[in-house]
């Protein structure tokens, strides 16, 4: 059977992946994947950062399933130092994992670069990704960036760079369409500190409707999470609704 995904936030766990007869867990940083069984956790796969030739663990931010493979991705942008120089491109690599645990590293630098260029955020600007899905029904990729900036990364300014775009792509990730998520009663300026951290397609809608989580993280304030619903054309059907205050939600899945 195909993988089923359950994104789960726990103590250092970010995704729970339900496979054939086991639950395989990919962690957010540095710790190996886990095969959770009878309250015991044993290593399943280890996701090395970048091209896979390092001992540093990958910082996983999103995952989805396409053609029987589990895709695991990071932020999808370069990391820069205080002068703006690129110090790492590791997060522009993604991993594919088979049901038997075979891991392959793929360089998505060109894909991520073409995507942000199409959206109007060319380097040193950036898009950061925490939410991506392959739609088997529509045969398209969908990305909801967390942050979108036309300027070089600045920690303080990044807090108000929340994205309001949905990016649709063909199966080969060569043709990108930028869709603005539009709430007719609001504008991006109203809540620029909110950015997408997860989404899923609402069942029985032909993958036409999306339910998404937005996160707000501002230094000196507790985190906030919001839920919203819109269609693949960007029309908002349910404006941002705050979830339990001071709790951080980064995953959503229908069972």
Domains of the chain: 57-197 (2.120.10.100)
Q: Which pLDDT score, from 0 to 100, does residue 8 have?
A: 36
* CA distances, 49 to each of 55, 73, 230 (Å): 7, 10, 34
pLDDT tier at 176 (50, 70, 90 boundaries)? very high
Q: Is 155 annotated as a binding residue?
A: no
pLDDT value of position 9: 35
pLDDT band at residue 246 under the 50/70/90 scheme: confident
How far out from the chain centre does Cα 153 lie? Answer: 19
Would you list the DSSP string of 15-63?
A: EEEE-SSSEEEEESSSSPPEEEETTEEEE----BSTTS-SSSBP---EE
- Residue whose pair of structure tokens reads 């999470």 in the numeric block: 225
Residue 188's pLDDT is 54
Q: What phi and psi, each to the nearest 5 degrees, are found at residue 239?
A: -60, 165
pLDDT of residue 12: 37
pLDDT band at 10 (very low <50, low <70, confident <90, very high): very low
Burial of 222 (0-12, 13-18, 19+ CB in 10 A): exposed
Q: Is the pLDDT of residue 94 over 60?
A: yes
Q: Is the pLDDT of residue 80 over 50?
A: yes
Q: Is 250 known to sit in a ligand binding site?
A: yes
The pLDDT value recorded for residue 18 is 42
- Burial of 167 (C-beta count, 10 Å sphere; 0-12/13-18/19+): buried
Percent of the chain with pLDDT over 70: 81
CA–CA dist 184, 182 (Å, integer): 6
pLDDT band of 252, cuts 50, 70, 90: confident
CB 166 within 8 A of CB 100: no
Query: What are the C-alpha distances in Å from 206 to residues 56, 136, 175?
Result: 39, 10, 22
Q: Is the pLDDT of residue 11 over 60?
A: no
* Higher-scoring residue by pLDDT: 53, 139: 139
For the cut 80, the answer to whether the pLDDT of residue 14 exceeds it is: no
Residue with the bigger pLDDT between 255 and 16: it is: 255
- Give the separation between CA 255 and CA 251, rounded to whole angstroms: 13
CA angle 28, 34, 37 (to 5 degrees): 140
Comparing 20-34, 137-151, 173-187, which segment has the lowest mean pLDDT? Answer: 20-34
Q: Is 183 within 8 Å of 239 (Cβ atoms)?
A: yes
Contact 204, 211 (CB under 8 A): no
Residue 78, annotated as binding a ligand: no
Q: Averaged over 193-216, what is the pLDDT?
A: 97
Span 111-124, average pLDDT = 98
Contact at 8 Å (CB) between 225 and 209?
no
> What's the confidence (pLDDT) of residue 38?
54
Average confidence (pLDDT) over 88-99: 95
**Alpha helices (H) in the chain, listed in sequence order:** 109-119, 155-158
- Provide the pLDDT for residue 186: 63
pLDDT score for 83: 87
Other CB atoms within 10 A of residue 191 CB:
17
More confident site: 63 or 167? 167
pLDDT tens per residue across span 220-236? 999 999 999 999 999 99
Ramachandran category for residue 234: left, alpha or beta (phi over 0 → left; psi -120 to 50 → alpha)? left
């Amino acid at each position: 059977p195909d993988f089923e995904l359950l994104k789960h936030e726990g103590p250092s766990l970010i995704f729970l992946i339900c496979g054939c007869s086991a639950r395989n867990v990919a962690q957010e940083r540095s710790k190996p994947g886990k095969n959770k069984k009878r309250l015991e956790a044993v290593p399943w796969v280890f996701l090395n950062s970048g091209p896979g030739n390092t001992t540093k663990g990958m910082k996983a931010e999103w995952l989805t399933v396409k053609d029987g493979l589990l895709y695991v991705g990071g932020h999808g942008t370069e990391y820069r130092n205080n002068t703006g120089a690129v110090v790492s491109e590791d997060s522009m690599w993604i991993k594919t994992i088979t049901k038997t645990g075979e891991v392959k590293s793929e360089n998505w630098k060109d894909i991520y670069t073409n995507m942000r260029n199409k959206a109007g955020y060319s380097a040193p600007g950036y898009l950061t990704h925490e939410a991506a899905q392959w739609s088997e029904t529509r045969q398209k990729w969908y990305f909801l960036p967390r942050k979108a900036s036309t300027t070089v990364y600045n920690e303080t300014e990044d807090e108000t760079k929340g994205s309001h775009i949905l990016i649709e792509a063909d199966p080969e990730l060569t043709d990108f369409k930028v869709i603005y998520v539009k709430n007719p009663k609001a504008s991006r300026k109203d809540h620029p500190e909110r950015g997408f951290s997860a989404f899923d397609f609402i069942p029985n809608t032909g993958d036409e409707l999306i339910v998404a989580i937005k996160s707000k993280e501002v230094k000196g304030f507790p985190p906030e999470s919001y839920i919203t619903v819109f269609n693949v054309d960007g029309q908002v059907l349910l404006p941002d609704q705050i979830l339990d205050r001071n709790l951080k939600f980064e995953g959503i899945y229908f069972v």
